[in-house]
Structure 1
Amino acid sequence: MEFTSTIENDDSIELDVRLAKKGDKEAFSRLIENNKTSLYRVALSMLSGKQDIEDAIQNTIIKSYEGIIYLRKNEFFKTWLIRILINECKRIIKNNKRTIPIEEVNYNVGVSDNYNNLELTNAVNLLEKDLKVVTTLFYFEDIPQKEIAKLLNIPEGTVRSRLSRARKRLYEILKER
């Protein structure tokens, strides 16, 4: 029964991608709405400031809207969207290296995230940035290791070793609590 709904959901996503490629703004809005929590989680795993996270997501939406006609395989929309977001986050990180943060910001962007108050999510947030990004993509976004390697431009073996180090570190963090 669950398998059928997944197939129907995949079909509706591909239909929305096809419609969005033809200029249907409502179909594009549905695609973004379906992926907003994923976008927020990935941006949060890479960036620390509320405004940076919002900027990265906003720029990702604009770039994906402008470039959706160039998406080759409709079934990879989410991976393509996250790749754009990762590039935006990297650009923001690069630009922020030149500035000094003045104050800490509250991270409530307004996205409903069921993982917010879980002990595991809090532990993941304590990981080093490279481990946190890979862990978020693999465990929270269900992106395969091969795709993560492509998204981050790192070897697949590096993804596996980072996941392994992250699991060990998470075990230590959770054991202490």
Structure 2
Amino acid sequence: MQETVLTAFEKIATLKEAQYFNTWICRILLNNCYRFMKQHKQVMSLDTETLNELAHHDCLPIELEDALNSLEANYRIALTLYYVNGLTTKEISELLHEPEGTIKSRISRAKQFLKNDYYLEEAQLL
């Protein structure tokens, strides 16, 4: 987040239209996240003791993350930007340089996948 604010402050002159500030800063944030993930490709395994400790905490964020991670990257990004970040489909299309119709269909397909596959499988496991 700090890197995003710093980059935005340094590059504010490159913003052509103020109405696209949210889209512009989200794109900076995404680029910083991608860069961070590339630099820190560490995988941490969880043992049963750690998992039991986590079971006592609110599991909703973990379940949401698990559900989102079950999606393909383009669906996950569209759904996250729309529901978590609160961007409109138009803002997302500008941010990702994709047609707005493509973004709408990705959000719809992601929701359909979660409803028909992910949550259906979860219910069957219980």
TM-score range, shorter chain: 0.5 to 0.7
Q: Percent identity?
A: 36
Deviations 1:17-51 (A, max 9, x none): xxxxxxxxxxxxxxxxxxxxxxxxxxxxxxxxxxx
Given that 2:23 and 2:94 are in contact with CA atoms closer than 8 Å, whether structure 1 keeps it comes out as no
Aligned equivalents of 2:30, 2:61: Cα separation in 1: 21
Aligned equivalents of 1:166, 1:134: Cα separation in 2: 9
Number of matched residues?
107
Partner SS state of residue 127, structure 1? coil
Aligned equivalents of 2:5, 2:61: Cα separation in 1: 23
| Correspondent of 1:151 among 75, 82, 95 | 95
Runs (5+) with no aligned partner, structure 2: 46-59
Match of 2:61 in 1: 116
The residue type equivalent to 1:155 in the other structure is P
Aligned equivalents of 1:137, 1:77: Cα separation in 2: 15
How far did residue 156 of structure 1 move? 1.4
Match of 2:54 in 1: none
Deviations 1:118-144 (A, max 9, x none): x34431122111111110001111111
How far did residue 89 of structure 1 move? 4.2
Aligned equivalents of 1:144, 1:120: Cα separation in 2: 20
Match of 1:83 in 2: 27
Aligned equivalents of 1:104, 1:85: Cα separation in 2: 22
Give me the CA root mean square deviation. Answer: 3.0
Match of 1:175 in 2: 120
Runs (5+) with no aligned partner, structure 1: 1-56, 107-114
Match of 1:63 in 2: 7
Whether 2:83 is the aligned partner of 1:139: answer yes
TM-score (normalised: structure 2): 0.67
Match of 2:107 in 1: 163
Whether 2:43 is the aligned partner of 1:104: answer yes
How far did residue 105 of structure 1 move? 4.1
